[in-house]
A and B are shown apart, each in its own frame.
Chain A
Amino acid sequence: MKRSASILSLDPELPMAPQAMAAGPALFSLHDVDLHYGPVRALRGIGLAIHAGERVALVGSNGSGKSTLLRVLHGLLAPTSGTASCLPRNRQALVFQRPHMLRTSVQNNVALGLWLRGMKWRASRQAALAALARVDMAELAGRNAKALSGGQQQRVALAQAWAMDADALLLDEPTANLDPHAKREVEALMQEFAQPRAGRTMTMVFSSHNLGQVKRLASRVVYLERGRILADLPVDSFFNGPLPEEASLFVKGEKI
């Protein structure tokens, strides 16, 4: 998936590291990507390469461009300028902050994604049941998905993503708005889903405001501020090394 192009060099002053060290071709590669919503510049000069097996956390204040960046990676938004070369959408899955459940059973909600990707309906329903068992929700398969709690709906969304057998899992603040118990459950599933599956490495990109979660789940942290990447570091360096002032304030909790 390639989108239009004019490549400029990245700022050499920015704290950057891991993409250069990772082996193999990048699953996601953005060069000087700008994205405008009318007069608002949501992303500015984004350069980012994500390789197979990485667990990348996108952090930053509200409105910093995390969700927009995830949508560009998923192919839901096209850059206004720059180049985005991403894994095809049918090989990745995106879990939304507030997943919408259709007015039908939990099982049908999970099966729908598979059916839309070409699987027969009956087989989709069977695969959905297996995926629901994976998130410990098989007993709720016949329930109306609308009637589930926020945490349960998020687990259904994870089951849907799991059922798709994708190479990359993208998650947009998956534990925001959840109570602590549901947060722990969803986080445990994320951790499980990030493990290699049938010999294939899983790549995970997620946005989060929860720095503890970032420490627990990520191998690399990308800090965004007003649509720009200000830091892109391995997780240890991000939390222990020198950072630009804005990122440092964010880590100290003085910037929300």
Chain B
Amino acid sequence: MNTLAESAVTALRLITSFDPVLLDIVRLSLAVSACACLLACAGGLVLGAWLGVARFPGRGAVLTLLNTMLALPSVVVGLLVYLLLSRSGPLGFLGWLFSFKAMVVAQAILVLPVVTALTRQVVEDAERSHGEQLRSLGAGTFMRGLLLTWDERFALLTILIAAFGRAVSEVGAVMVVGGNIEGYTRVMTTAIALETSKGDLPLAVALGIILLAVVLLLNTLITLVRRWRERRDAGMAGWLRMPDLTA
């Protein structure tokens, strides 16, 4: 109890004094997860939207596989990326192992099924509810996917925030492919694991507090976006105008 209290006090001192080591770790952690989410969203939103509206033989099997990938253990993803990027692996020539890029790739692979599966669910629900009306207006499969994704943009924003939360709080994949090198690939979660094993609890606690704060902030953002959407749906369109689609 005494150790916990002392660690917490020291941790708060580290945070309030903007300790440079702490800040570097936090900055790197947020940058890796942000880049990974951007990558995962680029693919996941398009793939999820398409899966939400398209009907093809074997779709059920694809969805089962996708849902299974939601439970991908992060260390397994780390191992897979490690094997791909190691010197003897097929992508070894890139020289990305134990680098920022390797961590981004690993987290992107981890988050891609989350973005894809949740986007698919949101778009499919929308398709079931009003896809028929869009078909009646003349929208084909691809156009319906685009329109429904755009119409559900606030729900999808929530998914993106949740995906960032998943990325920033995982430890296994970045540990395996990043190597937890100080000042280079050390992120919040790997630093917490290392500092705890070394017995340097104040830094671990400080990082833990910041990580929790980040997750709390993300959840607050999700709530705010939801409320904002409800308020917008009951109010004026204003800035919600469609982009100029003039061909």
Q: Chain A residues in contact with chain B, CB under 8 A? A: 71, 74, 76, 89-90, 93-94, 96, 99-100, 102-106, 108, 112-113, 115-117, 120-122, 142-147, 160
Contacts and interface: CB of A to CB of B under 8 A. Distances in A.
A99 B129 CA distance: 10
A143 B237 contact: yes
A142 B236 contact: yes
A100 B233 contact: no
A144 B232 contact: yes
Nearest to B140: A116
B136 A147 contact: no
Nearest to B246: A121
11 contacts: A90-B138, A103-B233, A105-B242, A108-B241, A112-B242, A116-B139, A120-B246, A144-B233, A144-B237, A146-B233, A147-B234
A120 B136 contact: no
Contact of A108 (B232, B235, B238, B242): B242
A99 B240 CA distance: 20
Contacts of B246: 120-122
A142 B150 CA distance: 18
A112 B234 contact: no
Given A104-B242, A121-B247, A122-B246, A116 B237 contact: no
B71 interface: no
> Chain B interface secondary structure, helix, strand, loop or mixed?
helix
Contacts of A116: 134, 137-139, 143
A142 B240 CA distance: 10
Contacts of A104: 237, 240-242
B241 to A, nearest CB: 6
A108 B129 CA distance: 20
A160 to B, nearest CB: 8
Nearest to A114: B137
B52 to A, nearest CB: 16
B151 A103 contact: yes
Contact of B136 (A74, A115, A142, A146): A74
Given A76-B132, A102-B151, A116-B143, A144 B240 contact: yes
Contacts of B147: 102, 112
Given A104-B237, A143-B236, A147-B234, A117 B138 contact: yes
Contact of A121 (B134, B236, B240, B244): B244
A225 to B, nearest CB: 25
B192 to A, nearest CB: 40
Contacts of A120: 246-247
Nearest to B247: A120
A122 B244 CA distance: 8
Contacts of B134: 116
Contacts of B241: 104-105, 108
A160 B133 CA distance: 12
Contacts of A121: 244-247
Given A102-B150, A113-B137, A121-B247, 15 more contacts: A74-B136, A100-B129, A103-B151, A108-B242, A112-B242, A115-B245, A117-B138, A120-B247, A121-B246, A142-B237, A142-B238, A144-B233, A144-B235, A144-B237, A144-B238
Interface string B197-209: 0000000000000
A71 B147 CA distance: 22
- 7 shortest interchain CB distances as A-B pairs: A100-B130, A144-B237, A105-B237, A121-B245, A116-B138, A146-B233, A113-B137
A144 B138 CA distance: 23
B87 interface: no
B113 to A, nearest CB: 27
Contacts of B129: 100
A147 B151 CA distance: 14
A145 B247 contact: no
Contacts of A146: 232-234
Contact of A113 (B138, B238, B247): B138
Contacts of A112: 137, 147, 242
A120 B245 CA distance: 8
B227 interface: no
A103 B133 contact: no
A87 B143 CA distance: 23
A172 to B, nearest CB: 10
A89 B138 contact: yes
Contact of A96 (B133, B139, B244): B133
Contacts of B236: 142-144, 147
B215 to A, nearest CB: 28
A86 B202 CA distance: 75
